[in-house]
Amino acid sequence: MPRRIAFQGELGAYSHQACVEARPEHEPLPCPTFEDAIEAVRSGAADLGMIAVENSTYGRVADVHSLLPKSGLHIIDEAFVRVHVNLLGLPGATLAQVREAHGHPVILPQCASFLRANGITGVTRSDNARAAREVAEAADPALAALASELAAEIYGLDVLARHIEDHDNNTTRFLVMSAEADHSRRGDHGMITSFVFEVRNIPAALYKAMGGFATNGINMTKLESYMVGGSFTATQFYADIEGHPDDRGVALALEELAYFTTMIEILGVYPADPRRD
């Protein structure tokens, strides 16, 4: 049985592109939702999961960070994928014929300037690859999809306009998830440790909890908060730091963090993607 990697979306989605680039030896397994992709790994239907967590233009992917601690999975790698937005239309169609461009709500603002300049109305769809499939099925030259060149190949569409995103550094970060943890040192660009924690209910707890990272020279590249269970008083924090838990500075910082928290959970220890810089 071939090794599989699950992702949210349809074939041709940017998550599919991430799977092809980062794990070409795995068979991509499309899933309707992030929860379905996670469950595919938990159940053994897939060996790995490719989960989008943030985009350099749009920001973090809603709800994903709150899903990770409950998933029972471990981060074993990260992948940065350059997102090129393309206008895909029927074979033989021209840009002048296009009146509507269909795409995910995240991707529409990323090419707003192009759409406005060409008098094209953006139409929201649940998935970019699905938009490409629906445009192919509709057989209307006035309709186009905002998607990857991979989607164009899969659904037999022409690229009417290439790389139309407003920002030339548009990049999405993905996390590779596994049922088994791997804390071994690997890669040539250092290690990243991801974890979640809840602070104790004492004054300036977060400020004090962060002190250990500063005093031990540990670079924290991400710190985000989100509510737990819909409560305004129960808040978890998600953090990424540079380094391995066995590094002396990281160990001391985590030890100090533990004093000011009620919970710490390591989500993954993995090599930094060279494109992180």
Annotated active-site positions, please?
172, 174
Nearest alpha-carbon partner for 141 in 109, 113, 173, 99: 99
3-state helix, strand, coil in the chain (%, to 5): 30, 35, 35
Q: Cα angle at 209 between 204 and 215, to 5 degrees?
A: 115
Alpha-carbon torsion angle 159, 165, 168, 169, nearest 10: -110
**What phi and psi, each to the nearest 5 degrees, are found at residue 232?**
-80, -10
> Are the C-beta atoms of residues 87 and 158 closer than 8 Å to each other?
no
- b/e burial code for range 121-134 (CB count within 10 A of at least 16 → b): ebbebebbbbbbbe
**What phi and psi, each to the nearest 5 degrees, are found at residue 78?**
-130, 155
Residue 179, Cα to own-chain centre: how many angstroms? 18
CA distance 55 to 44: 28
